[in-house]
Each structure stands twice: as structure tokens, then as C-alpha cells.
Structure 1
Amino acid sequence: MATRIALLALVPMLLLAAAGGLWLRAQMHHSLLGSFEQVLREKAQRVGARLHPGPQGELREATGGADEFSAIYAGWYWRAQQGREVIRSRSLWDMDSLPIDARPVRGSAALHLSTGPLQEPLLALTLPISLGQPPAEVALTVYGPAAQLQDNMRQIDRTLLLAGGLLMVLAGLLAWLQVRVGLAPLRRLEALLTALRAPHGAGPDVAQHLAAPTGRDLQPLQNELAGLLAHNAHVVARARAHAVDLNHALKKPLALLSAQASAQTQVSSAEVRRQVEAMAQLVDRYQARTLSDALHAHPGAAGQAVDVRECAAQVLRMMQRLHADQALDWALEDVAPDPLLWRGERADLEEVLGNLLDNAGKWAASRVRLALSVEGSAEQAMLCLDIEDDGPGMTAEQLQAAGQRGVRFDESVQGSGLGLAIASQIAQAYGGRLHLHKSTGLRGLGVRLEMRGLVHGPVRGSSGRTG
């Protein structure tokens, strides 16, 4: 990226500097050549004023004072030709003519390169003049020394080349500085991400680690990366928890089968079938939870909105059949607005209600109450499920330890010790929480479950009633 940015900055600048330098060189050369051409024209006019036709029509030069054309091989020369008749300046001495390049000098359409008697470089300008009556056409060529002019032009070229080189070096340094400063936030973000992969890393708090400032421009990307990494860490943690839960849940039926096989030479097929069916149900249950986690990773894949009332009533009826021998009073209190629709997986809602109600049914003496309510503003509304029983409840120490995986306070009651942990995990997956407390109404255990995902208004295609 640094190379591309530097090239994108330097290549256009190099092209512009080269084009500008060539244009400036051409303009300065043209100016110098134009000035020299003007000098030659003025001298040609002065020489032409001294020429006149003689008595026989021949060319003659009026006598006058000495000038730059008088000294032999002085560098300034002129030559006039009329037909085959030629006269020349005294400075040419015995040379009849000087070689002239047929092509004009680059930058001037009138000047031509020539070589003087001493092999010095000259610039020549040829002008037509008219003499006498009737007018006779005379070609007058004036030569001037070009060495100083060529030195000046070469000095201009060197100056422009040096200035262009310095400009490019300066531009390169500025581009390097710009890339270093501009990409510094990316390097800081790269360092933060590299630290995450270090042996000790940033620990579980990935979001706090990535909260270190890297630059205002990259802050949105940094926040998204922090959220993505935190979400991925949460998904991995849930996947590990699923494996631990399934392992823990399968141990009990396997232990029972192993104990019976050790105590008896033969185990009844009915018992084996019952334990195998229990294990199959556990596998299906955790497979459904794994699918639910996959949908959490892609919220757009969530299904239709769930009618909470209908789902709660169905689970409550199932609990009544499951605990029919206890003759419990199962009550559903509904103070939530109508309709009560929740955007989530029905299997998650059924599982969390099933775990909590089943746990209440195991410990209740005579009554279990389920209350539905909604709290918070419309944008931050939380679905609240309150489950209470009139059982013995829990001590403060037990309330603090409750919810840990596999923790059970009474081995005489059937269970795996995972119900509260699973319910808490599902609540957290939907941005909520699980809170245990002593029931104020029934004096037993009270469980409050809060989850986000309420749908406001009727949803097309939702199950259950819509208002």
C-alpha cells in the first residue's frame, strides 16, 4: 500500500515536472534565440544601409568608421550576394563564404548554425534587401558568435535538470513522510492485531484491547474489528460450552448403563432403549442449539417472529403433563402489551422456558407462576420472563453459586445441573441476562430472564396472533 501510494504521488509529479521543465526550457531557449536574432537583424539593417550599387551596377560598400565587422576573424561577419557578385566584410578576410546548416536551429525559424574561419560556432541570419532603381535583389547574410549563447543555453539546461532533480528528491521525501504519517494508524492497528496472536495475547477482553487509539479515520474500522473479534470469541466460547454440556449430559445415562452392566449379567432392552433415547434427545437438543448459534452469527438468517404468549402457554402445558404426579398449580400472568412478538429462535425460547419451568416444578411445593412483561423504551425494549415457585428457595451462598455448569445442590432430584447455565447462556446470546433472587410472592426461588429482540407492531408471516 505504501508503494502504491508513493508511486501514485510521484509518477504524476514526475510527468508534470518533466513536461513543465521541457516547456520552460523551450521557452527560455526561444527567448535567447529571439534576442540573438533581433541583434543580427539590427546589424543586418546597419550593413544594408552601407551597401549601394556602383556605376556599373556592381555592389559597393560605403566607407565608414571601424566596427565589429572590421577586425579580421572577429567573430562577426557578413556576406552580400547579387547574382554571381559577392562582397563580404573585412573580418572574413580571404574567405569567400562560410558553411551553413540547411536546417534552422531548434527554437528559431530564421537562424542557422554555421562554422567560422577559426572553426568557432556561429549563428547566421539571411535577409533579402533591395538596392537601386530599378530595385535589385541582394541576399545579405550576417553571422554572429554562438559560443556564449550556447553556453547560456547549456547552463539553463543544467539549472533546470538540477532543479528538477532536487524537486523530485524533495517530492520523494514528502511522499515518504506522507506515507509514513498517513499509514501510521494502520501500523498501530496492525500492532494491536499482532498482539492478539501473541502467546499471552490480550486475554478475553478483545474489545478493550482494540479500544487503544490508532487514529480517528480508522476508528470505525477498529470498532467493527473489535465487535467482530468479540463476537467470534463469544461464538467459540459457546461452541466449547455446548461440547462441555453435551459431554456432561451424556455421562449420566452412560454411567447408569455401565453400572447396570457391572451389577447384572444382562441389562433389560427396555432400560437400554430408554437411556439410548435419552441420549438421542440430548444430541438433537444440542444440535438445535448449535444451529441457533449459527443463526446468531448471521442475524439476517433468523426466522419468523415468535408469539411469546403462544410459546409460553405450550411449554406450560407440557410442564403440567411432565409434573402431573405433583398436582402443582401452574399460573400464567400476562401484563405485556399486545401483540408480544419476539425476533429469535423458537427453539431457544422453548429451551429456556423448559429449563426454568422444569427446575421450578422439581422444587415447588404447590405453585409455579410464570409472568410475561416488557420493560424499557420502544427502541430498547426487553422481554421479561419471571418464574417463581413456593419451594425451599436458595441460600445466599447457593444463589451466588447457582448457574455454574454441573453444580447441583440436591442429588436426590433428577437433573444434570445445566439448566440455569444454559438459560443464562441463551439470555446472553440475545443481549439479556438471567437473575436469581428470593421470590417475594411465593417465598421460594425467583428467576428473572431478560432478552432483547422484541418486534414492534405486527409482523407479516409471524406465527400466532398479531394484535
Structure 2
Amino acid sequence: MRVEPSAPSSKPAQPAPPAPARAHGAAAWALTLAQWPMATRIALLALVPMLLLVGAGGLWLRVQMHQSLLGSFEQVLRDKAQRVGARLHLGPQGGLRESTGGADEFSAIYAGWYWRAHAGSDVLRSRSLWDMDSLPAEPAPTTGSATLHRATGPLQEPLLSLTQPVGLGQAPGQVTLTVYGPAAQLHSSMRQIDRTLAVAGLVLMLLTGGLAWLQVRVGLAPLRRLETMLAALRAPQGAGPDVARHLAAPTGRDLQPLQNELAGLLAHNAHVVARARAHAVDLNHALKKPLALLSAQASAQPQVPSSEVRHQVEAMAQLVDRYQARTLSDALHAHPGSTGQAVDVRDCVAQLLRMMERLHATQELDWVLADTIHGPLHWRGERADLEEVLGNVLDNAGKWAASRVRLTVSVAVSASSSVPSSTQGGAGHTCLCLDIEDDGPGMTPEQLQAAGERGVRFDESVQGSGLGLAIASQIVQAYGGHLQLRKSEALKGLGVRLEMQGLVTVGRSKPG
């Protein structure tokens, strides 16, 4: 065996442990809100701000409209107070007097429009007040105005009053004039405004609630479709192993990445389960041979030699350990982050070739290692898997080779993969390539097509179980690669090409 000197193994730096999660000290109501259904939270996020906005906007609009009406009424009272003040004058003895004039709104008795002027103890009032000296009024201004006061008329009708000084003669500002106006129509208009705003706010809230409900229904429809798809997988007549195709139905652009990850995860789990079942079948098939040998010897002779029993028991124990290691490898594939240290490919290949030389020593085969990579070559995976794959393929080549077996180590760029996206690094990654060739009889095209099926053997005279290529192909697929059988152009026998993803450290190719 001719072997290139292997590069020293290097241990990659261990990733730093994740920082411990820190408690945020959220309030109890926030935790309770986080447990509510998503539809309820979305509806609340839409309705609560809208409710606050509608309430604040409606209140602001109500105040503005009320102030506008009160301002208009105040301007009317000021105009009338100016007109009344123009008719007032001081008599010869200093008393208040009103110039005679035509009839107006202050002339009819209890007409609703009144005025009252007083200067010290001298009081003058409009004819409409008749025999009432004054009208009861509230001391505080009415809401929405700083100058208008609520008052009650002679007929208990609501009034609004405005008080302002009037300058007469040489002593201006000593006459106080109060003008009253009917407020029933104004109050009716203000109540009508309140009713209109309340109805408009209610209609707006109902419309907003309907739109929020429609948004929740339409927005969460992809989630419901995805939930239906996942529920269908658990049905008795579900999608079976074709999980990825079942979950390929479009659910929306936003959920498409989540859907793809779920499809990859479920397909990967189905792949792991299928491998576990295959392990059980393989172990059952492999244990049948030593058990059958012990049963045949027990039937042929009354006592079976202890050496033979021990030999077969050791063989079965090795089989159990072997499949247990493969089961552990599958568990690590299910959680890629738990994969162990990178494997030195050259060291592993050299050990396997030395073991094959001893195993097939009677055939005096020439075991050749062709290494096309210069520098370190490390592969991220389980060493037991690499040994399992190469051991099966090299052992098969040693059984059929006439004089020579060649193993070529190289790298290639992968364009696609046979495993779900959750277990691979993606298209265009560098793969580890192992080409095993022998100068044996090879296989016919029909045999190449049937090779790799579990338990298929083409020559019963050669020892084996017919599981080697099937097991190797299964492990290679678990690492995002594939196993290819062909006729060796150089040695004219069988050629097996293995490609597996997971290269960590790759040197440069050797020239020529």
C-alpha cells in the first residue's frame, strides 16, 4: 500500500457557550397578554389604538363645535349689548334713562331677550322683563366660554347672559349692562352635535372592528392552511414519506420560509426514522447467519465446540456494537450541532487500508492510495460512519479484485443533495470524494442497476450478506451525498464513487 504522509490533526476552536438568558422582569399582565390567541392580540392591537384615536378625536371635535356655537351666540349678545348701550344715558339728576325708540326684541313681555343695567343703586331693565327685577344666573361661566353664564328666564326657560361695562357721560365704566338671550335652540344644536358625533364614532368603531376581523381572517388564513396540512400528516391516510411534496402547497409569501423549514425538518425526521427501521432490518438479517451456523452445527452433532460458540457469539456482539454505533450516529444527524470533532480523512483511510491488507492477506492484493489534495483534509462527521462506508466498499472490492484495489481521495463542488435542506449546508458546497476501483470482473448494466438493493447478492460463493453497498449508500445520503456505481476505466473492474458533504479543512489540489 502506498500512502501519502498525513497532515497533523488540528482541533477546531470550540464555540463559546451561549450567554444565559436574562429575565426582563415583565409585568404579570404582559405575560398574560402573551398567552392570549394571536387573533385576539392582533384585533386588540388594531382596535385599542383606533378606539383611543376615535374617542380623542371625537372629544376634540365636540369641544371645537361647542365653542364655535357659543362664540357665535356671544357675538350676538355683544352686538345687542352695544345697541342697548347706545340708547342709555344719564338723566338730569344722574339717574339712568333709555332713549325712546321703535319696538325691538326687548319690547315684548317675556320674549326671551332681556337686559338689565345698574349704576350703583340705580337699576334700569328692559320692558320684556316687566315686573321682574333680576334673573337668577350661575356665578361660574358655562362650559366652553369664559364670558357667558347660564340663567333662568321668567318662564323658567334656559338663558345665556353676557355682562359688560358701558361708559356713559363723564364717569365711564360705572354702568354694568347684562344682556340675556334664549339658549334653548343653542342647547338643542349642541345636543344634536353630540348625538351625531356619538353615532359617527359608533359606526366608525363597527367598521374598524369589521375590518380588523377581516384582516385577522385573511392574515391568519395561511397559518390555518399550514395547520391543516400538518394535521393531515397525522391522519391514517396521510402523505406518508412524501412530506416535502405534501407541504409544497403555497401558504403565502410571509410563511413560505417557515413552511420550507417545517418541510425539511419533517422530511429529515422521516429520513431518520427510515434509517432506524433499516438498522433493525439489517441487524436482524446479519444475526441470522451466525445463528443459522450454530443451529446447523447443533443439529449435526450432539455437542458444539466451545470455540465455535465463542466465535459466533463474538461475531454477534460485534454486529450489535456496530449497529448501536450507527444508531448513535443517526441521533447525532438529527441534532447536527452535537456532531463530534472533525475527522482526519487521511488517518482514517490509512488505518482502513492497513486493516484490509490484513483481512485479505491471502489474496496478495496491491492496495493503492491516490491522494490528489495537498495540505490538511478534515471532514465534519462521525468517524464510525466514514469507517463503515469505506469498510463496506473496500471489503467488497477486496473480495472481487484480481490483484489491485485503488482508493482516490479528492474534493468536488456539490450542485445538489439528496437530503432535506435542514441537514445540509446548501448547494455549491465542497464535498469529500472517495473513488474505489478494482480489477475484478465488474458488473453488467443490469447488475449495476440492481446493486445496492438490500440483501441482493450476485454470487453466493463469495461470503457476505448483500447489505454492504446498501448500508454505505444510506450513510452517504445522510451526509448530503450519493454513492455511484460504474465501470472503472483504468482497472476495468467495478468503480464506486462516494461524495459526502461536511469538509471543514481543505488543502489545495496537487498539480498534474
Superposition TM-score, scaled by structure 2 size: 0.84
Distance in 1 (CA, whole Å) between partners of 2:371 and 2:314 is: 36
Aligned counterpart for 2:338 among listed residues 301, 326, 343: 301
Q: Do structure 1's residue 3 and structure 2's residue 40 form an aligned pair?
A: yes
Question: Alpha carbons of 1:133 and 1:371: their partners in 2 closer, same or farther (altered >3 Å)?
Answer: closer
Q: Do structure 1's residue 274 and structure 2's residue 323 form an aligned pair?
A: no
Q: Do structure 1's residue 123 and structure 2's residue 160 form an aligned pair?
A: yes
Pick 1 or 2: higher relative contact order, CA cutoff 8 A, min separation 6. Answer: 2
Aligned counterpart, 2:120:
83
Aligned counterpart for 1:96 among listed residues 109, 116, 133: 133
Q: Do structure 1's residue 411 and structure 2's residue 460 form an aligned pair?
A: yes
Aligned counterpart, 1:285:
322
Q: Kindly indicate whether the alpha-carbon contact (under 8 Å) linking 1:337 and 1:374 is maintained by their aligned counterparts in 2.
A: no
Q: Do structure 1's residue 427 and structure 2's residue 476 form an aligned pair?
A: yes
Distance in 1 (CA, whole Å) between partners of 2:322 and 2:83 is: 115
Aligned counterpart, 1:465:
none
Q: Please say which of residues 374-383 and 42-51 is displaced more in the overlay.
A: 374-383
Q: Kindly indicate whether the alpha-carbon contact (under 8 Å) linking 1:367 and 1:390 is maintained by their aligned counterparts in 2.
A: yes
Instruction: Give the partner amino acid of 2:344.
Output: D
How far residue 40 of structure 1 moved from its aligned partner, in angstroms, is 0.9
How far residue 321 of structure 1 moved from its aligned partner, in angstroms, is 0.8
Aligned counterpart, 1:347:
384
Aligned counterpart for 1:260 among listed residues 297, 304, 307: 297
Instruction: Give the partner amino acid of 2:306.
Output: S
Q: Kindly indicate whether the alpha-carbon contact (under 8 Å) linking 1:40 and 1:142 is maintained by their aligned counterparts in 2.
A: yes
How far residue 171 of structure 1 moved from its aligned partner, in angstroms, is 1.8
Q: Kindly indicate whether the alpha-carbon contact (under 8 Å) linking 1:389 and 1:445 is maintained by their aligned counterparts in 2.
A: yes
How far residue 337 of structure 1 moved from its aligned partner, in angstroms, is 4.3
Distance in 1 (CA, whole Å) between partners of 2:147 and 2:488 is: 111
How far residue 71 of structure 1 moved from its aligned partner, in angstroms, is 0.5
Q: Do structure 1's residue 395 and structure 2's residue 430 form an aligned pair?
A: no
Aligned counterpart for 2:411 among listed residues 362, 365, 374: 374
In the comparison of the two structures, how many residue pairs are matched? 459
For the residue of structure 2 that corresponds to 1:67, the secondary structure is coil
Q: Residues 46-96 of structure 1: CA distance to partner in whole angstroms, max 9, x if unpaired?
A: 212222222332222221111100001111011122333322111111222
Distance in 1 (CA, whole Å) between partners of 2:249 and 2:51 is: 39
Q: Do structure 1's residue 68 and structure 2's residue 105 form an aligned pair?
A: yes
Residue correspondence of structure 1 range 64-213 to structure 2 within 5 A: 64-135=101-172, 137-213=174-250
Aligned counterpart for 2:369 among listed residues 305, 324, 332: 332
Tell me how large the CA RMSD over aligned residues is. 2.3
Aligned counterpart, 1:464:
none
Distance in 2 (CA, whole Å) between partners of 1:135 and 1:380 is: 100
Instruction: Give the partner amino acid of 2:305.
Output: S
Distance in 2 (CA, whole Å) between partners of 1:136 and 1:404 is: 117
For the residue of structure 1 that corresponds to 2:116, the secondary structure is strand
Distance in 2 (CA, whole Å) between partners of 1:41 and 1:223 is: 76
Aligned counterpart, 2:501:
452
For the residue of structure 2 that corresponds to 1:131, the secondary structure is coil
Report sequence identity in percent: 81
How far residue 277 of structure 1 moved from its aligned partner, in angstroms, is 1.5
Q: Residues 245-283 of structure 1: CA distance to partner in whole angstroms, max 9, x if unpaired?
A: 122222222333334344444433322222222122112
Distance in 1 (CA, whole Å) between partners of 2:87 and 2:80 is: 11
Q: Kindly indicate whether the alpha-carbon contact (under 8 Å) linking 2:165 and 2:173 is maintained by their aligned counterparts in 1.
A: no
Instruction: Give the partner amino acid of 1:28.
Output: M
Question: Alpha carbons of 1:136 and 1:364: their partners in 2 closer, same or farther (altered >3 Å)?
Answer: closer
Question: Alpha carbons of 1:39 and 1:316: their partners in 2 closer, same or farther (altered >3 Å)?
Answer: same
Q: Do structure 1's residue 359 and structure 2's residue 403 form an aligned pair?
A: no
Aligned counterpart for 2:88 among listed residues 48, 51, 65: 51
Instruction: Give the partner amino acid of 2:347.
Output: E
Q: Please say which of residues 177-186 and 149-158 is displaced more in the overlay.
A: 177-186
Q: Kindly indicate whether the alpha-carbon contact (under 8 Å) linking 1:124 and 1:141 is maintained by their aligned counterparts in 2.
A: yes
For the residue of structure 1 that corresponds to 2:101, the secondary structure is coil
How far residue 97 of structure 1 moved from its aligned partner, in angstroms, is 1.7
For the residue of structure 2 that corresponds to 1:226, the secondary structure is helix
Unaligned stretches of 5+ in structure 1? 460-467
Instruction: Give the partner amino acid of 2:209.
Output: G
Q: Residues 209-231 of structure 1: CA distance to partner in whole angstroms, max 9, x if unpaired?
A: 22222222222222222222221
Aligned counterpart, 1:227:
264
For the residue of structure 2 that corresponds to 1:235, the secondary structure is helix
For the residue of structure 1 that corresponds to 2:174, the secondary structure is strand
For the residue of structure 2 that corresponds to 1:200, the secondary structure is coil
Q: Do structure 1's residue 214 and structure 2's residue 258 form an aligned pair?
A: no
Question: Alpha carbons of 1:317 and 1:180: their partners in 2 closer, same or farther (altered >3 Å)?
Answer: same
Distance in 2 (CA, whole Å) between partners of 1:49 and 1:6 is: 64
Q: Residues 167-217 of structure 1: CA distance to partner in whole angstroms, max 9, x if unpaired?
A: 222222222232233333323323332332332222322222222222222
Distance in 1 (CA, whole Å) between partners of 2:374 and 2:242 is: 38
Instruction: Give the partner amino acid of 1:403.
Output: G
Superposition TM-score, scaled by structure 1 size: 0.91
Q: Kindly indicate whether the alpha-carbon contact (under 8 Å) linking 1:123 and 1:144 is maintained by their aligned counterparts in 2.
A: yes
